[in-house]
Amino acid sequence: MSLFRTRRSRAVTSTPLDGVDVLLADLDGVVYTGRNAIEYAVDALGRAVGEGVTVGYITNNASRTDAQVAEHLTSFGLEVAPRDVVTSPQAAVLLLAGLVPAGSTILVVGGEGLTSEVEKAGFHVTRQASDKPAAVIQGFAPTVAWTDLAQASFALHTGIPWVATNTDWTIPVEGGIAPGNGTLVSAVHTAVGILPVVGGKPEKAIFDAAVERFGAKTPLFIGDRLDTDIVGANRAGMRSVHVLTGIDGPKQLLAADKDSRPTFILDDLRGLFEPYPETEFSKDGNTATVNSAVVRLKGDAIEVVKSGDSAVDRLRAGSSLIWASGRPIYGLQVAPELYS
C-alpha cells in the first residue's frame, strides 16, 4: 500500500498493525535501553499479543543467549520464551552449517551467546588456530581480546570460511555508545584481506530465520537504526516501522537513501494502533501535507509552511517530500524545525 497520495484521493486510515500476523521487534532502542524499558513499549507489545498478533524479537547482540534475552524481556512484564527470540548467532550458525561438514571444529571469537549456538548445532568449539578449525565464527562479547582476534587471523590465513554474527559499528550500553562487532570484524579484515559472510542485520539471513520460525505471511519489523534494521527489512521484503526512541533520529531519516527508508515513522510504539496518515502531495509535487503539517520544496530550500500539531507529522511530510524529490540531502537547505 502506498503511503503517498494526491489531495484528491481518499485518505486511508489503517494502522501499521492492520493485516500483520507477526510483529518482529528489535531490542536495544525499541524495547529497552540498558536495564530500562522504553516508555510505552512493553504495554504496546503486550497489547499486540492480546489482539492476536504473534510477537518475536530479533537481536544482533551476540553476547547473550536466547534464554538470557527472554529472561530480560520477561523482567519487564512481557511473556517471552527463548523460542520467541531470534539472535544473530543463530542466523550465523545456520550459514555456517552450509559451509562446513557436520561436527567440524570451529574457532569461535565471542562469548556464551555464540558458543552455545555453535555447540547446539553439533560443532566443536576451539579458541586456537593450532587446532586446525574448519571455519571461524565471530561475534561480540565484552571479553573479546587482541589475542582472540589474532587467533582468528592465524586460522583465516589458511583459507577457511569466516562467518560473522553481525557488523554493527556501535553497540548501546549503559554508559553510552561503544564500539560494536563491526569494529572487531574490521580489525580481522585488515589483517587477512577478506570479508566474512554475515548472519545478522542488515543481511537477510536473520530475517529469513524469523519468518520461517514464526510462519510469518505478513510480518512487520520495528527498528531504531536505518543502516541495520530498516535496510535489513527492505532487503527481506518486509514492511518496517522506524521508531524514534533509539539511535537514528530526524536528521538521519530526512537524509535516508532509497534502501534505508521505512514504511512508517512513529514517535513511540503507541502509534502501532493509531491510524497512520498518508502524505498528500500537491499537483506539482512540491508540497507535502501530513495532517495539519505542510512542508514545501522551493528552489533548494525545504520550508515548513505550517508546523501542524506534531513534530512527527512535520518529519513525515519533510521526509516524504525529500525522498520523492530524488534530490540528495546535501544539495538542500532544510528548515531546522524538521530535525531540531
Q: Of all helices (H) and strands (E), which one includes residue 43?
A: helix 41-50
**Residue-level pLDDT at 7:** 45
pLDDT tops 50 at residue 270: yes
Stretch 9-29: mean pLDDT: 86
Alpha-helix residue ranges (DSSP H) falling in 145-291: 146-156, 181-192, 204-214, 231-235, 250-254
User: What own/partner pairs with CB < 8 Å and gap ≥ 24 does 142-147 have?
Assistant: 142/63, 142/111, 143/111, 144/109, 144/110, 144/111, 144/184
Which residue has cell 551476540?
62
Stretch 130-155: mean pLDDT: 97
Specify the 3-state DSSP secondary structure of 118.
Answer: helix
118 phi, psi to nearest 5 deg: -60, -45
pLDDT digits (tens, 9 = 90+) for 106-126: 999 999 999 999 999 999 999
pTM of the predicted model over 0.75: yes
Residue 8 — very low, low, confident or very high, per pLDDT cuts 50/70/90? very low
pLDDT tops 90 at residue 139: yes
Summary mean pLDDT of the chain: 94
Integer Cα distance of 239 and 218 in angstroms: 8
pLDDT tops 60 at residue 166: yes
pLDDT tops 50 at residue 2: no
pLDDT tops 50 at residue 243: yes
Percentage of the chain beyond pLDDT 70 is 96
pLDDT tops 80 at residue 194: yes
pLDDT tops 50 at residue 10: no
For the chain, domains (ranges, CATH) are 1-13+279-340 (no CATH), 17-60+201-275 (3.40.50.1000), 88-198 (3.40.50.1000)
What is the distance, to the nearest Å, from the Cα of residue 205 to the centroid of all Cα atoms in its chain? 13
Residue 171 — very low, low, confident or very high, per pLDDT cuts 50/70/90? confident
pLDDT tops 70 at residue 24: yes
Q: What is the DSSP letter of 84?
A: G
Integer Cα distance of 58 and 313 in angstroms: 28
pLDDT tops 80 at residue 174: no
Could you confirm whether 28 is annotated as catalytic? Answer: yes
DSSP assignments along 293-328, one per residue: EEEEEETTEEEEEE--S-HHHHHHHHHHHHHHHT--
Active-site annotation holder among 18, 28, 168, 313 = 28
Find out whether the peptide bond into 202 is cis, omega within 30 degrees of 0.
Answer: yes
Active-site annotation holder among 18, 26, 257, 309 = 26
Integer Cα distance of 123 and 56 in angstroms: 27
Residue 277 — very low, low, confident or very high, per pLDDT cuts 50/70/90? very high
pLDDT tops 90 at residue 200: yes
Integer Cα distance of 173 and 129 in angstroms: 31
Could you confirm whether 300 is annotated as catalytic? Answer: no
Q: Quote the cell numbers at residue 269.
A: 510504539
**Residue-level pLDDT at 3:** 53
Which sign, positive or negative, has the C-alpha torsion 38, 42, 48, 51? negative
Amino acid at 259: D
Q: Quote the cell numbers at residue 259.
A: 534502501
